[in-house]
Structure 1
Amino acid sequence: MPQHVPPALRPVSPSAPLESVPRGPASDRSPHPRRIVFLARRDLANPAAGGSELLVDRLADGLTAHGHQVTLLCGGPAADRDYQVVSVGGDTDHYLRARRAFDRRVGGCDLLVEVCNGVPYLSPLWHRGPTLCLVNHVHTDLWGMRFPGPAARLGRRLERWGLAGAHRGNLIVAVSGSTAAALRAIGVPPERIRVVHNGVEEPGPRAAKSPEPLFVAVGRLVEYKRIDLLLRLWERVRPVTGGRLLIVGDGPERDRLRALAGPGVVFTGRVSEAEKHRLLCSAWLLLHPSLVEGWGLVVTEAAARHTPAIGFDIPGLRDSIDDGITGVLARGESSFAAAWCALALSPERCAAMSAAAGLRAARFRWTATVRRFRAVAAEAVAAPVTGHDPGW
């Protein structure tokens, strides 16, 4: 029988207002502090870190501010935080070392949060306490892009079993309605899924828009972000709009993409948060040609700076872009280029989308994300014991 889901824990429409939560005063600290462990592939300090790592950092930081004892167990390089970070092994071998590291260096917890980014840790097979699984997006299509046929099939089966099989009985947190739908498609019962949207920081004072056309793409330079496609479209758009195309970020595709770039393209590499803020404020449009997204955090970051986005009509971006209002969801390469030109040549329409993007982004703040995650965490801890509210 499907369990009753309290209204505060049900998936929330991206267009619904999100309640703001004050942060940090002593009265807001939990009277029942918990030991919480996040099991994730990377720390935010890793050069390959992206939206998933930012989400985990904001959740861990917010839970710490509420009085909980938080530990991040991960692979690769890490940095000191207000919460404990335990780095064990490299980017791949830490999956094999996770259980032993948890037993020896963490010892135990009240809640284990497994962050599944394709390869599962299968933590329910070795951890018997309350467990949550956090999923940004299901990697169904990405396996075939990164691995040959047999390995891709194995990866898809392992991910599916890890989410729908190993975690049966556990709650699974999805970052968007699209991710929730993908989880249902691989067999996760809907009554076990909770949606917790990403947030953004308060953006602070906005810089002025660039007086000349300025278009920005932000993200890791990896194959599924499809910056190569964007560079091809730029050759069609540039004679119409003029201006510059800035590629912000770094990654394994950098050298190949530089070789493909034509006139007017600038690669900035990784930039500081202050510089990212300035560029997103100055840009006329954010361009996001990704093949797969769980949410598209940079879309909301740009929207908070009153910058609309153009992306493809894919899961994730359907959640973060309100098509025709805060940006455009293109159905193909030609429609992407057409929308790019149309908005660049229509200051009035672009200004209207900019204002709408800013209003919508104001509904998504990290304080609300942490509050919703705390509610799901409390549900996960309470369910195996008595079902009462443990005072989160």
Structure 2
Amino acid sequence: MKIAVVNWRDPWHPQAGGAETYAWELARRFARSGHEVCFVTARAPGQSGKDTVQDVRIVRMGGVFTVYPMVLCWLLARRGRFDVVLDCQNGIPFFTPWVVRRGTRVFCVMHHVHDRQFGVHMPGWLAAFGRFLEGPVARWSYRRHESVAVSPSTVQAMRERLGWRGTVHIVPNGVSVAQPGEVVRSPAPRLVCVGRLVAHKRVDLLLDAVESLRERWPELRVDVVGRGPEEPRLRARLPEGVTLHGYLSEEDKARLVGQAWLHVSASQGEGWGLSVLESAALGVPTVAYDVDGLRDAVRPGETGWLLPEGTDLAKGIAAALDELDHTYTVKCREWADRFSWDRSADRFTALMLGHDVEPGWEAR
């Protein structure tokens, strides 16, 4: 097949996150299987307009907002070229059904519904416009096409908050972590938080919890890994015992996570929570809020703890530290072993070929 993967950013973009990992891990596996794959995305300063990596042709154009009309024009000029388009929604989709030929199979790939997050990142009028595009406009544009979500809670949010009516398949994230060699768990309590430093991740809640936690565990350390627009502000208010590492290589990140007692996510919602499974693969359970995506990635009482929204994070972490034992490490690794990028790519390939797929992970 000739496949176009259309995603807001590529994995080498300075603001890349889990959505970019998902799109790229699938794209390179499609290419490895012999399909012709073109990854169409935005162009960050310093990036080349064209590239080829692992047999995937990469085409970059436009910035945060201009990438949308530029990609549509690019596809319109090549409307008969592709058999399949993966239209990855990162707040709003690319609306590729408007420009491709009617026989092209388009899959709208949904990580999570952004309606509540638009107001966190945008002024009121722009947030309202974003919700209009994500809701009524997208619902109409993709009414004749199948969609793919990464978790059951994303499907539920699509149905309930966007009024999505068409077929929605689930193709979960895989998990892959670097092999850091022998890692020794920290002798003193150590927490880690991994993710993009953006407002809806609510890293402030973790920083606010540190002083209270260190009253009981004076040697407690917290490592924050990631980069993003919130980094300067967060760095300026780091409490004692917290280190903000910024970007780390996969090996260094795995080594740091492997030393932690707990991984913490205070996000207000995710499509899945890739860092949760990456931590689980290293035997580290997660404390998170019971929100979209994270309620799928964390198995309460086995691989972590889910806190009701509004719960004091310090109290939730303290309770987890008190309860933590080796069984969580074992269960975490068992849970992470159920996820594979190869299996996800195989599942998506079956959908692109028009095959029925059996209920899998989502029917656990």
| TM-score exceeds 0.5 | yes
**2:287 and 2:320 in contact (8 A); partners too:** no
Equivalent of residue 188 in structure 1, options 156, 164, 179: 164
**1:308 and 1:354 in contact (8 A); partners too:** yes
Q: How does 1:98-177 map to 2 (within 5 A)?
A: 98-104=71-77, 108-128=81-101, 129-177=104-152
Kindly indicate whether residue 36 of structure 2 is the aligned counterpart of residue 69 of structure 1: yes
Q: Which residue of 2 aligns with 1:301?
A: 278
d(CA) in 2 for partners of 1:173 and 1:163? Answer: 14
**SS in structure 2 at match of 1:119:** coil
**1:343 and 1:350 in contact (8 A); partners too:** no
**SS in structure 2 at match of 1:109:** coil
Q: Which residue of 2 aligns with 1:371?
A: 346
**1:202 and 1:365 in contact (8 A); partners too:** no
Q: What is the identity percentage for the equivalent residue pairs of Structure 1 and Structure 2? A: 34
**SS in structure 2 at match of 1:158:** helix
Q: Deviations over 1:292-338 (max 9, x none)?
A: 10000000000000000000010100100001211000114545322
**2:177 and 2:254 in contact (8 A); partners too:** no
d(CA) in 1 for partners of 2:108 and 2:182? Answer: 36
d(CA) in 2 for partners of 1:126 and 1:374? Answer: 23
**2:150 and 2:272 in contact (8 A); partners too:** yes
d(CA) in 2 for partners of 1:206 and 1:333? Answer: 38
- The alpha carbon displacement at 1:342 in A equals 2.7
d(CA) in 1 for partners of 2:61 and 2:78? Answer: 10
**1:203 and 1:304 in contact (8 A); partners too:** no
Scaled by the length of structure 2, the TM-score of the pair is 0.90
Structure 1 residues 300 and 220, CA gap change in structure 2 (3 angstroms): same
- The alpha carbon displacement at 1:368 in A equals 1.0
Kindly indicate whether residue 199 of structure 2 is the aligned counterpart of residue 223 of structure 1: yes
Kindly indicate whether residue 334 of structure 2 is the aligned counterpart of residue 359 of structure 1: yes
**2:226 and 2:245 in contact (8 A); partners too:** yes
- The alpha carbon displacement at 1:147 in A equals 2.0
- The alpha carbon displacement at 1:371 in A equals 1.1
Q: Which residue of 2 aligns with 1:261?
A: 238
- Structure 1 unpaired stretches of 5+: 1-33, 383-392
Match for 1:149: what amino acid?
G
**2:207 and 2:239 in contact (8 A); partners too:** yes
d(CA) in 2 for partners of 1:122 and 1:106? Answer: 13
Equivalent of residue 53 in structure 1, options 14, 20, 26: 20
- Structure 2 unpaired stretches of 5+: 357-364
Comparing 165-174 with 119-128, greater Cα deviation is found at 119-128
- The alpha carbon displacement at 1:152 in A equals 1.6
d(CA) in 2 for partners of 1:335 and 1:367? Answer: 39
Match for 2:12: what amino acid?
A
Kindly indicate whether residue 6 of structure 2 is the aligned counterpart of residue 39 of structure 1: yes
Comparing 71-80 with 262-271, greater Cα deviation is found at 71-80
Structure 1 residues 84 and 162, CA gap change in structure 2 (3 angstroms): farther
Aligned length: 345
**1:233 and 1:333 in contact (8 A); partners too:** no
**1:304 and 1:357 in contact (8 A); partners too:** yes
Over the residues paired in the alignment, what is the CA RMSD in angstroms? 1.8
**2:224 and 2:242 in contact (8 A); partners too:** yes
**2:205 and 2:313 in contact (8 A); partners too:** no
Q: Which residue of 2 aligns with 1:6?
A: none
Higher relative contact order (CA 8 A, sep 6+): 1
Q: Deviations over 1:104-133 (max 9, x none)?
A: 478621111111111222111111222111
Match for 1:112: what amino acid?
V
Q: Deviations over 1:208-261 (max 9, x none)?
A: 211222110011111000011111111221211232111101111111111221
d(CA) in 1 for partners of 2:186 and 2:22? Answer: 30
**2:30 and 2:345 in contact (8 A); partners too:** yes
- The alpha carbon displacement at 1:103 in A equals 4.1
